[in-house]
Amino acid sequence: MISHLFAEHALLPDGWGRDVLLQWNEQGQWHAILKGQTPGDHVPRATGPVLPGVPNFHSHAFQRALAGLTEYRSHASDCFWSWRTLMYRFAEKLNPEQLEAIATGLYVEMLEAGFTSVCEFHYLHHDAQGHVYADPAEMSLSLLRAAKRTGIGLTLLPVLYQTSGFGGVAPTPGQCRFINSAEAMLRLLDRLRPLCQAESARLGLAPHSLRAVPPDSLQEVLAGLDAMDATAPIHIHIAEQRAEVDACLAWSGQRPVSWLLDHAPVDERWCLVHATHMDAQEHQRAAQRGVVAGLCPTTEANLGDGIFEFNTWQIHKGKWGIGSDSHITVHPAEDLMMLEYSQRLALRQRNVAANATQPDVAEALWQGAVAGGAQAAGRPVAGLAVGQQADFIVLDPVHPALAGLSPEMMLASHVFASSRTSAIAQVWLSGQPLVQEGRHALHDVAMAGLVQVRSQLLKG
Ligand SMILES: [Zn+2]
């Protein structure tokens, strides 16, 4: 059976389409997208402009519970590393039920904000003492259940974490929940593979970073992954911090991105998370390999990481996605705004994400985040095109920020001028409406669960 929706305006991969008939099949995939149509009386009409849903390429779900709690100064030189100390203290306490409650609340927030899929960069594998659970996939299962309950699309990326610094430095006690041998990681992937298939989730792998995975292990685990699924996505944190670049130079004589490009088969399967500190050559080489640069603009701003050179990346036609990472903000529009504003502040220039062929900044940002996010997710979620999943957003045309505007202006106002209110009326996943009038059906119960767990963790 084919389902239909008629949209007066829909943002297609090649730009805004007028009078678009959207059709999807029983599997929730686009069957046909036809412009210039006249709808029959029986065809339902979208109440506002239709946009593709945005894939969130980077999430550490549990960190949602500490968002906003580390905004005070404990040292004059507070930085990423002092934030990480607090994050570890929180991570030490978390049990599987609490992780599921946090993730459920978070995924509801994501869906309501227009993120229709998420890549979980998941490193909390073991219990608080670092012992392997009876089922080593226990914590991963919490995430799978949260995704199933809320309906969000999931790419699960179990994280390999072994050392606390370059050159095989032993892990700290605070990292005991993260640690796996390459063999144990491959067994975990084996265990997760059928579970992910059953839930239509994509399984990939995340070597945490070059400081956490020695070269031999990296090679071993990549070979194992290839044997299992030679197209599975691979994500890695890289060059987020200047200190990390310096430590990598001291260890290998190379910068992190250069080292990775020289020592790993980096290609379109790879997502380089942050990649904030690349030199001119690294920008060029990484873009040529077809990687996705994984940008987390509000988290990178919150942690004082530095500013990604988006302009340079665009010159090399580099692909990119956005992620909410630490979840200091859970909103694609806000992250896209932050991305553009960071560039304006650094370059003292306006409309940086636009170019000669795409002068509209909000559209350029939205389309880029959808295309790159879908590649990083390894799932068919690349927007309103036949064969992709029918994941879409309907903007609210009577929201004060949008009312009376053209669809192009509505998108720009949604990204730049909705002042922390949401101008989203509906969010559909695989052709099913999950968010109506701005709310997910589980909103109240999921938010109550998240709040309760945060209180428990703060008390403990
Ligand atoms: Zn991260």
Look up the pTM and report it.
0.97
Determine the pLDDT at residue 45: 97
pLDDT at residue number 88? 79
Distance, CA 237 to ligand 1 centroid (Å)?
A: 6
The catalytically annotated residue of 9, 125, 208, 274 is 274
Q: Which two tokens stand for residue 346?
A: 């650094």
Tell how far the Cα of 236 is from the centroid of ligand 1, in angstroms. Answer: 9
User: Going by C-beta distance under 8 Å and a sequence separation of 6 or more, which residues neighbour residue 407?
Assistant: 9, 11, 16, 49, 395
147/379 Cα distance (integer angstroms): 15
pLDDT value for 75: 74
- From the list 199, 192, 196, 269, the residue with the least C-alpha distance to 230 is 269
Distance 177 CA to ligand 1 centre (A): 16
What's the 248 CA to ligand 1 centre distance in angstroms? 18
Please give the pLDDT value at position 236: 98
Please give the distance, rounded to the nearest whole angstrom, from the Cα atom of residue 294 to the centre of ligand 1: 10
Residue bearing tokens 């805004």: 16
pLDDT of residue 69: 86
Instruction: Give, as one character, the DSSP assignment of residue 169.
Output: B
305, 325, 335, 360: the catalytic one is 325
* Sign of the dihedral defined by the CA atoms of residues 122, 128, 129, 134, in that order: negative
Collapse the DSSP code of 17 into the 3-class scheme (helix H, G, I; strand E, B; otherwise coil) and give the result. Answer: strand
The confidence score (pLDDT) of residue 72 equals 79
Question: What CA–CA distance (Å, rounded) separates 130 from 176?
Answer: 5
User: Which pLDDT score, from 0 to 100, does residue 460 have?
Assistant: 65
Residue 90 C-alpha to ligand 1 middle, in angstroms?
16
CA 326 to centroid of ligand 1, rounded, Å: 7
Residue 58 is a catalytic residue: no
Q: Is 274 a catalytic residue?
A: yes
Q: How far, in Å, from the CA of 158 to the mean position of ligand 1?
A: 12
pLDDT in tens, 311-345: 999 999 999 999 999 999 999 999 999 999 999 99
Tell me, in angstroms, the distance from the centre of ligand 1 to residue 62's CA: 12
Residues of the chain with pLDDT under 70: 79-80, 460
User: Residue 87's pLDDT is what?
Assistant: 79
